[in-house]
């Protein structure tokens, strides 16, 4: 099992650290990056700063750059808060996943 944690972190800590099989680690990293880019696009489309978005979502402003860079392990609560803050469904935070499902 591998810990999926931000680069430079040698061991898991806190409630957001998870243990996953090593073959899933690159997939999770890729999907976090996609999610971060999607959240950034939604934020900028609404003309919000990172600080404003962080306040709306209920996370610390210094955490927002990590979220948008795909280096943060968001909780389900964070994802729900982001979908409410940006006025989109949870499904809309993961458009690539649904596009891939549609092609199967």
Q: Determine the pLDDT at residue 81.
A: 97
Predicted model pTM? 0.76
Place of tokens 């090593």: 22
- On whether residue 98 sits in a domain, the answer given is yes
Asked, for residue 1, whether it belongs to a domain, the answer is no
- The whole-number pLDDT of residue 57 equals 96
Whether 21 has a pLDDT exceeding 60, the answer reads yes
Rounded (5°) CA angle 53-27-92? 40
Q: Which range marks the domain in which residue 93 is found?
A: 29-102
pLDDT at res. 19: 78
Quick check: is 56 in a domain? yes
The mean pLDDT of 38-65, rounded to a whole number, is 97
Q: Is 15 a member of any domain? A: no
- The token pair at 35 is 């999610």
Give domain status of residue 23, yes or no: no
Strand partners, 2: 20
Quick check: is 20 in a domain?
A: no
The reply to whether 65 falls in a domain is yes
Tell me, what CATH number does 75's domain have? 1.10.260.40
Does 78 fall in a domain?
yes
User: Which sign, positive or negative, has the C-alpha torsion 91, 93, 95, 100?
Assistant: negative
With cut-offs at 50, 70 and 90, classify the pLDDT of residue 53.
very high
pLDDT band at residue 98 under the 50/70/90 scheme: low
Domain total for the chain?
1
- What the block records as the tokens of 36 is 């971060």
């Amino acid at each position: 099992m591998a810990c999926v944690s931000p680069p430079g972190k040698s061991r898991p800590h806190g409630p957001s650290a998870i243990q996953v099989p090593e073959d899933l680690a690159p997939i999770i990293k890729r999907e976090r990056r996609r999610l971060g880019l999607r959240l950034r696009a939604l934020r900028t489309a609404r003309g919000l700063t990172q600080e404003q978005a962080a306040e709306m979502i209920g996370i610390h402003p210094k955490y927002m750059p990590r979220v948008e860079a795909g280096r943060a392990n968001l909780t389900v609560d964070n994802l729900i808060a982001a979908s409410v803050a940006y006025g989109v469904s949870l499904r809309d935070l993961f458009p690539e996943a649904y596009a891939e499902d549609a092609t199967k």
